Amino acid sequence: MIGSSFARANGISGKVTYVFSLGIRFTHGIFHNSGNVSQVKDIGLGQTFPPQMVVDFIKNAVPKVSVKAIGIAIAGPVNKGVVSFAPNIWGPAIKDFPLAEELERIFKFPVEVVNNVTARALFEKCYGHAKFADSFGVITIDKGVGFKQYSNGRVLVGPDGQDGEIGHLTVNENSRRPCGCGGFGHLETDVSELAAFRIVQERSVSRAEAFRASQLYQQVAGKAADLNAEHIARAAKAGDAFTLAMLDTLCKPLAQIICNLQMADPPEKYLITGDFADTVGAPYFQALERQIKQIIPGGNQLIMPGLADKKAYLVGAGLAALNRLAA
């Protein structure tokens, strides 16, 4: 679907599409039919906001030019423009917010809202590492964890938009670690960027001597709470043993889930991407390969890195909007 629709949409002239990526950060810009995004603006958020404030933000961000459509990639499941829940944006209590309808009432032109991993899959199919794949999965590792499968020319989202929400699978019923959605023991709490920070902080106490000897310790001057993904990337790429051991722990539950997915209707490949995975790069991917191989010998062939691109979610949102215009 996306291939033919994109080709048709590419011929639409005079259409300016404005795109948003809404998650921990709000990013937006003008999408061009060539696949580029210009005039990108990026805002880091330190808190959640009620949906109406998000609507007002979008209303004020769209430039006063000839915009004919808006594409939005959002961190949360989406069912026909209705965001089922988006705990990292407006908290866990708000359900089923009709974001597309609210914005179309304001702008009077099409607004296409899709899950951010759906957008990432469209990007990978048109411009990334899945151009020639008929079936593939995309797993994103950010502050949350997402999964979507592309098959038969489309991204599979399910009848209610909930397909692929592996980040909210319960993997540890005894865990009291809270997930952003309000649940406990979910995969996201064990394998996300925030989980990596937690593991380091815990081991800075339980394995204090190893932590003090690590490059991470030097980078954060001993303050594990100041850790960020760039610190982990630098230490891992330098071969720091403490950091590499942390990545092995981080990747183990995800490796088990990937292997479990093979029991259903698996895609040809799983593309591993997302802001955290892309930032850490090869050491993250290699850790995941090691953990998969321990479960399925040779199973590392199941995965490959996605194309690291800071604008991937925006481009995917633009492709989704073009699909809507071409329908």
Q: Do both 296 and 156 map to the same domain?
A: yes
Number of domains in the chain: 2
Q: Do both 254 and 284 map to the same domain?
A: yes
Q: Do both 149 and 219 map to the same domain?
A: yes
pTM: predicted TM-score of the whole model, two decimal places: 0.91
Q: Do both 105 and 213 map to the same domain?
A: no
Q: Do both 221 and 243 map to the same domain?
A: yes
Q: Do both 111 and 166 map to the same domain?
A: no
CA atoms within 13 A on the CB side of 243: 26
Q: Do both 180 and 266 map to the same domain?
A: yes
Q: Do both 145 and 284 map to the same domain?
A: yes
Q: Do both 137 and 93 map to the same domain?
A: no
Tell me the C-alpha distance between 149 and 156, whole Å: 6
Q: Residue 88 has what pLDDT?
A: 85
Q: Do both 107 and 215 map to the same domain?
A: no
Q: Do both 114 and 203 map to the same domain?
A: no
Q: Do both 97 and 57 map to the same domain?
A: yes
Q: Residue 13 has what pLDDT?
A: 47
pLDDT tens for the chain, residues 1 to 327: 444 444 344 443 456 799 999 988 899 999 988 889 999 999 887 788 899 999 999 999 998 778 999 999 999 999 999 999 998 899 889 999 999 999 999 999 999 999 999 999 999 999 999 998 999 999 999 988 999 999 989 999 988 888 888 888 888 888 888 888 888 899 999 999 999 999 999 999 999 999 999 999 999 999 999 999 999 999 999 999 999 999 999 999 999 999 998 887 789 899 999 999 999 999 999 999 999 999 999 888 999 999 999 999 999 999 999 999 987
CATH of the domain at 147: 3.30.420.40
Residue 10: domain span: 2-123+310-326
Phi/psi-derived region of residue 295, left when phi > 0, alpha when psi is between -120 and 50, beta in every other case: alpha
Tokens coding 56:
């007002």
DSSP string, 64-111: SS-EEEEEEEESS-EETTEEEEEHHHHEEEEEEE-HHHHHHHHHSS-E
